[in-house]
Structure formats: C-alpha cells, structure tokens
Structure 1
C-alpha cells in the first residue's frame, strides 16, 4: 500500500510553493485543484451535471466559464456544496488511478479543503501550511487581482488554522521561503524514516 500524505492550508498559505519543494525532492505531487479544473473541462458527465445545476452559461465555447461559476458560488454555500458533490468524487477516483502508477515511497495530494470535506480521513499523514492572515490576504490579492472582501469570503468558508493544526501530523509555517524549505526537508526525512520502520 502506498503511503498517502495530504497537504493542505488556507487560501494564500502557499501550498503550491510547498508542494513544489517536495517535488524537487522527488515526491510525486497531485494538485487536486488543477485536476478538478481539467476534469471539469474534460468529463462529459461533469459537464452535463454542471449545466443542469448552473444553466448553459456554465460553459462558454466548450470551456468551463470560471468567472460565471465563481460569481454563482460566491457567498452561496448551498451551490458550492452541490458543485463539490459533482466534482469531488470524480477527482477522488482519478487520484486513486494516479496513485497506482507512482513508484515513490509516498505521494502527496495538495488540496485546499481536505478538512472541510472530510477527506482528510483517507490520508496516512496530514501536512498543514500556515501563514498569518495579513500575509495570506496580500498574497491572494496580488496573485488573483482580488478584492479583500472576496478573499475574506473564501477564508470564511475554510477552517481556521487552529482547527486544522489539531488534526495535522506536521505544520509548516510559510513566511520565509528558506525556512519553509528547511521544514520541508525535515518532514521528508522524517516520513522516509517512519516508512522504513513500517
């Protein structure tokens, strides 16, 4: 059985940066968000269900209309949950197939809402990436050209760091890149030691 490690953290915590540090160490990385977007464009089943849920505007020129969708689910938890119920099971089965092809001692799945959707229970270890709220706000506003209000609304839909930390095996403070990289290396070595014992 392949060891599964979940990597999570609130919006703007720098999960992808941390995932890339693990990738540099040869760890296979599955970015759930990227795969979800690809599947939303590729899967006929998802397409049909999303059009049924959001109407014909869900897709434009055969491509997912992300602006339209994010406006629909902005501040609408019910629609967000319905959309996740369509997309997440497909991503989960895609992930299972991907894991089977990997050779490394452990793999990492990077996902924003591991705790929120209960999928954290499927992992052997959980790594949570944290950063102060002000830092995260600045990162996301400059990265996505988003308003403070919009970023805050996403944050409010996610668990607080304190809640995540209680259920995590490892926590990476991602403020200084060099320090974060050192933490990644430590965790990597720690995991490899644990897996040798098993």
Structure 2
C-alpha cells in the first residue's frame, strides 16, 4: 500500500481535493481533525498542553482553541513546542488507521508536511496550489478572519515554489472542474504506481 501526503498552503483547497479523492473511494486521513480529537481526548497531550500553556488551555474540559491560537500566533517557538507534543501522537494514530485500510493507496492530508520535515515519510507527495490572492479571499470567507492573520499564517508556511520542488504531483485548484480532472489523472497514475510495488 502506498502512502501519499497531500499538502498545500492555507486556502489552497486541500479539503476540496481530499473530497475529490474520497469520491474515488480513496481513504483520507485529515491530520488537523485527528490532532484536534487527540488534543481533546488524550490525557498525555492534555497534561503536556496545560503544562505549556497553563490551565486556560482547556475550558470546561474542552480544548480552548481561541486561547491557544492567540498564544501561538506570533510565537514560533511555542508553536514548535506544541507541534512536538501533538504530531508524534498523530503520526502513531495514522499508522494504526492505515493498517486497517484495504485500498491501493491512502492519503494523509496535512498542512505543514514540509515545514515539520514529515514529507520524508511518504511514498509520494501531492501539493495543492492556488494564487495567494485567491487563497486569502477563501480564508477570509471561510474563517471570518482578517488579512493580517491570514498573511501571518502564509508567512509561517513554505512558499509554493519550494513545496513544488519536493512534490511528485501538483494540483492547481482554481476551477473546480479542472481540479477534479487533475485529481482523476493523479489517481490513475497512483493506481499504476501502487500496482508496481
């Protein structure tokens, strides 16, 4: 079974692409969603996050996302420390999940696949791209955020040009019809590659 990493900058449309693969019966693991579940349910993670951020990290037993987002917003070291607590657990959870799948390949969708060095753990990488202007508009519409915040997140992520150099497939996500065609083409190539292992 092939393991494929799916990544892209904020607002590039990773979820749209992931759903298109899902429609082709490919199992998808959304790292962010699973990380949030683990941050809420894992006693070990909870203990470490409270030690790092203080009691305010959880409100009524649930992860206090606005508080954490504010704390890590301009603090790269804090973000790095938090990721070092959460990501190894997500990695282990993914391996367990993958072992239960029967498809020729699985996809793990993760925003910071290059930034945290985990891209080396995949057989193939798909990077989703879109013009920065388009990405900013999408995030403003989706998250009720502001331009300053979105640009700060973009600044913390690798530029597309760097991601593309290390990717096996690039899907430009501007027009949904073309995106779905690209997904199908990539899917067919991955099926061929999966047959050869």
Into which bin does the TM-score normalised by the smaller protein fall?
over 0.9
The alignment status of 1:132 with 2:151, answered yes or no, reads: no
Q: Find the aligned partners of 1:90 and 1:171 in 2 and give their Cα distance.
A: 28
Structure 2 matches for 1:61-140, cutoff 5 A?
A: 61-140=60-139
Deviations 1:28-47 (A, max 9, x none): 00000000000000000000
Aligned counterpart, 2:7: 8
Aligned counterpart, 1:168: 167
Aligned counterpart, 2:28: 29
The alignment status of 1:39 with 2:38, answered yes or no, reads: yes
Aligned counterpart, 2:18: 19
Q: Secondary structure at the match of 2:97?
A: helix
Deviation at residue 194 of structure 1 after TM alignment? 1.7
Q: Secondary structure at the match of 1:146?
A: coil
Task: List runs of 5+ in structure 1 lacking aligned partners.
Answer: none
Deviation at residue 197 of structure 1 after TM alignment? 2.5
RMSD: 0.5
Q: Find the aligned partners of 2:78 and 2:196 in 1 and give their Cα distance.
A: 45
Deviations 1:139-196 (A, max 9, x none): 0011000010000000000000000000000000000000000000000001111222
Normalising by structure 1, report the TM-score.
0.99
Deviation at residue 27 of structure 1 after TM alignment? 0.3
Aligned counterpart, 1:54: 53
Q: Secondary structure at the match of 1:7?
A: strand
Deviations 1:90-122 (A, max 9, x none): 000000000000000100000000000000000
Q: Find the aligned partners of 1:4 and 1:68 in 2 and give their Cα distance.
A: 34
Q: Find the aligned partners of 1:21 and 1:167 in 2 and give their Cα distance.
A: 23
Q: Find the aligned partners of 2:61 and 2:35 in 1 and give their Cα distance.
A: 16
Q: Find the aligned partners of 1:91 and 1:191 in 2 and give their Cα distance.
A: 24
Q: Secondary structure at the match of 1:120?
A: helix
* Count of aligned positions: 197
Deviations 1:38-90 (A, max 9, x none): 00000000000000000000000000000000000001001000000000000
Normalising by structure 2, report the TM-score.
0.99
Deviating runs (4+, > 4 A) in structure 1? none
